[in-house]
Structure 1
Amino acid sequence: MVTVRRSIVDEPRPADAAPVGRLDCALAGAFALALTIEAVARPDLTWRPLVTVLALALLPALLWRRRWPLAAVLLGWGVAGLLSLLQLATGSGDLGPYSMMADLILLYALVRWGSGRELAWGTTFVAAVVALGMYAASAGWADIFGGSVLLLLCVALAAVFRYRADLWHRQQREIRNQERVALARELHDIVAHHVSAIAVQAQAGRVVAAFQPDKAAEVLASIESEASRTLAEMRTMVRVLREPEAATYQPQRGVADLPALARADRTPTVEVSLDGSSDGALTRLARPVDAAVYRLAQESLTNAVRHARHATRVGIDVRWEGDAVRLRVSDDGRHEPGPAPAPGFGLLGMAERAQLLGGSLSAGPGPEGGWVVEAVLPAEVLA
């Protein structure tokens, strides 16, 4: 129990708190308008000028409730506690305007965006203010029960949204980690292939050196070239994570294998275009980039076949542009009007793979309809 309590108290703030925006300003404006209307329309409200001025303190609290949730709660609910104290001291009637219900928004913000310590201090303060208010108003059991249920519902709603957001971020991190693991395993296989080639050439060099010393220099040059490529790809490999599992050494598919994805006998048809293969440029891609282009094209094609509506054609286009290689996968399917849907975990994984290699990936509706996935990767992996 002590361990669980400590873990809750030590919980940090969520990382998805948005800055002050237009909706926050609209909320503060709506509160100020409601408070002004209530101050004019309720002549029974005791000490209307003082109560109105004190209630206006909620305006900055509403604006900054996500950035400083504990301070917002202390300010907003502190005003409510002060009004309860004035009611007790003067024996006056109800001093709280109905617009003070905005304090519930501050309580929601505390549970949704506060840290564990802020949550503990804030909820304790709110409970004390609520108890003081009920005592000052001589609330009956029905009012106490109803008020308590309302507060608990607000806390529960904030906790649910906080849990959902945390689960989403965890899934994103898991996708990124899985992509790092897959890329690291591919790089491991590539480096293992190079090292095996170096070992074979070194063994051959020992034999050749005994009978043809002039050929030994060629073997050494080949070993040097292979070792340099291996070192460059090894530097890339150490930047990503890899599970401590035995990997199966096998050649990785690359740009040269993309034509095998083409098909004309089924719908949608798949067309593959490799611009730069005539002079061998695409065949000189670094192995990790070569494998990544194939994987991104394969994943994009799979998504198009599964999800594109009424698509008849999918095009895969790979071009060499300066020091980078550009992959474009497009289909002619229908896209629903409106904003583009949020990226799924597949697209997140593809984007993570591109970023790990120093490139970028974008996906969205095409200018002429359909869906377009475009990736730009450096021809040489960043070390």
Structure 2
Amino acid sequence: MPDVLRPLWTAPRPARAPARLRRDWVLVALLAVAAVLEVVLRPDVTWRPVAFVLALGVVLALLWRRTHPLGAVLAVSGALAAVNLAALFAGVGDLGLWTTACVVLLPYALCRWGSGREVVLGLAAVALASALGIAGDWTNVADAVLEACVVLVPAAVGAGVRFAAASRSRGRDEVRLREREQLARELHDTVAHHVSAIAVRAQAGRVVAASDPAAAVDALRVIEGEASRALTEMRLMVGALREDGAAALAPPRGVADIELLAHAVSGSPRVEVELTGDLDDLRPAVGAALYRLAQEAVTNAVRHARHASRVGVLVAGADDCVRLTVVDDGDLHGRSGAGYGLVGMSERVTLLGGTLDAGPGEERGWTVAAVLPRTGAVA
């Protein structure tokens, strides 16, 4: 097989193909009723029992178009080819009911949900059945081309939808990887500071061990505490790969830095920050996550909140969790919760065992509410 065609042939099925939905059953029921009415009411139907069974088979095959796209296409294409071939030899023309027009959903589903080899084999079967149907009801070249387009256009649309969905999925995965990398960097820096403190205390304890054993014991106590905190932070480490080399050991941002967001935006809307409750002794990873979430939410509000005059940031500490709420008073027109920024925020919150809600406010504006456990335990 040529290398240029190998990726198409070996392409896997898209993930999370939906099974039969409620609307599928409704569609099949309506089409079955339409087939019955067509057989009863149309006077020009040839071979009525055969035409009805054929239409009913095409309709029922729609129930398996996502889970078994190749099987559905081969079964329908084989039946259509056999009936069209029999009609061609008998000289009776087209046997298909108008209801069988729903067969165009099968090429769409094949290109949307099938694997690469299923798409190739299925389209070949569709082309053969279409050729026999065109030959059995031949009029002119223009009509033949139009009938071929009726089959090929849904297949092209299915392929386009598939590539668009794959592109969105890759975009979301890249956002998650970047968020995991950023979180890993912050955790690395935090643990590095703990280890640095351990090294300094160990050196000091070794120096004074002979002359002042009590000071050496105090140094060991500090080392024990720093090591315990470092191990706790290490348990929060995510499996993310870093693209660059050595880490810059800069202190991570924390809850106190959220107040700086009020001065980071000049002009309208104004940003107001309020910190309440117990916000001491938070895990560094939790403090850094709260800052990143607030920063992203404020940035989104400034960029997308039309006619907003105020962005309120509230951080409230409780006994076992910390709540972050960012609210703006802008218009909702053109805003949605499907952006990659919210994907990254949700990924960060989930990694630390918290929850995130984002959506329209009660009266106007947009609200982002996050709840993180104080310990940052992984969910």
State if a TM-score over 0.5 links the two structures: yes
- % of aligned pairs identical? 51
| Aligned-residue RMSD, C-alpha | 2.3
- Alpha-carbon contact 1:293-1:327 (below 8 Å) kept: yes
Amino acid at match of 2:239: R
Aligned to 2:34: 34
Paired residue for 1:310? 307
1:320-339 residue pairs with structure 2 within 5 A? 320-336=317-333
- Structure 2: where are the runs of 5+ without partners? none
1:308 to partner: Cα distance: 1.5
Change in 2 beyond 3 A, CA 1:162/1:265: closer
AA paired with 2:151?
L
AA of the residue aligned to 1:276:
G
Q: Is the deviation greater in 328-337 or in 220-229?
A: 328-337
1:360 corresponding residue in structure 2: 355
CA deviation after TM superposition for structure 1 residue 27, in Å: 2.7
**Which residue number corresponds to residue 81 of structure 1?**
81
Contact 1:45–1:94 (Cα < 8 Å) also in 2: no
Q: Does 1:72 align with 2:69?
A: no
1:44 is the counterpart of 2:41: no
Structure 2 residue 266 is the aligned partner of structure 1 residue 271: no
Cα 1:236/1:244, change in 2 over 3 Å: farther
- CA shift, 1:140, in A, is 4.1
Distance 2:238 2:138 in 1: 68
Kept after mapping to 1: 8 A contact 2:361/2:367: yes
- Secondary structure of residue in 1 paired with 2:236: helix
* Preserved CA contact (<8 Å) 1:25 1:63: yes
Please report how far the alpha carbon of residue 89 of structure 1 lies from its aligned counterpart in structure 2 after TM superposition: 4.6
The aligned residue for residue 184 of structure 1 is 184
Asked if the contact 1:256/1:283 (under 8 Å) is kept, the reply is no
Deviation at 1:349, TM superposition (A): 0.8
Q: TM-score, normalising length from structure 1?
A: 0.91
Change (3 A) 1:342 1:34: farther
Whole-angstrom distance in 2 between the partners of 1:77 and 1:231: 62
Q: Summarize deviations over 1:38-88 as a string: whole Å, max 9, x none.
A: 323421211123311221112222223112211221233233223213313
2:185 touches 2:247 (CA, 8 Å); kept in 1? Answer: yes
**Preserved contact between residue 322 and residue 374 of structure 2 (Cα < 8 Å):** yes
Preserved contact between residue 180 and residue 238 of structure 2 (Cα < 8 Å) = no
Contact 2:59–2:102 (8 Å) recurs in 1:
no
Is the deviation greater in 162-171 or in 313-322? 313-322
SS at match of 2:251: coil
State whether residues 138 and 144 of structure 2, in contact with CA within 8 Å, keep that contact through their aligned partners in structure 1.
no
Does 261-270 or 108-117 show the bigger shift?
261-270
Shift of 1:17: 2.6
Note the 1:159-238 alignment, pairs <5 A: 159-238=159-238
> Which whole-Å CA distance do the structure 2 matches of 1:131 and 1:335 have between them?
52
In the alignment, the residues of structure 2 paired with residue 102 and residue 66 of structure 1 have an alpha-carbon distance, to the nearest angstrom, of: 15
Change (3 A) 1:333 1:140: closer
Does the 8 A contact of 2:94 with 2:137 survive in 1? yes
- Asked if 1 retains the 8 angstrom alpha-carbon contact of 2:331 and 2:365, the reply is yes
Letter in 1 for 2:275: L
Structure 2 CA distance, aligned partners of 1:260 and 1:216?
A: 41
Give the number of aligned pairs. 377
Q: Are the aligned partners of 1:87 and 1:94 in contact in 2 as well (CA < 8 Å)?
A: yes
Distance of 1:41 and 1:19 partners within structure 2: 34
What is the Cα deviation at residue 265 of structure 1? 7.9
Change (3 A) 1:145 1:267: closer
* Counterpart Cα distance in 2 of 1:243 and 1:78: 52
- Point out the more displaced range, 285-294 or 44-53: 44-53
**What is the distance in 2 between the residues matched to 1:312 and 1:56?**
60
Aligned counterpart for 1:343 among listed residues 335, 338, 353: 338
Letter matched to residue 315 of structure 2: V
- C-alpha displacement of 1:317: 1.4
* 1:195 shift after superposition: 1.3
CA distance in 2, matches of 1:320, 1:121: 60
Q: Deviations over 1:206-255 (max 9, x none)?
A: 22323321111111111111111111212322533322422211011101
Q: Per-residue CA shift, 1:314-336, capped at 9, x if unaligned?
A: 22112223422211111222324
- Whether 1:286 aligns to 2:287 is no
Letter in structure 2 aligned against 1:270: V
* Alignment partner, residue 372 of structure 2: 377
Q: Which residue of 1 aligns with 2:298?
A: 301
Contact 2:337 2:359 in 1 (8 A): no
2-structure distance, mates of 1:173, 1:351: 12
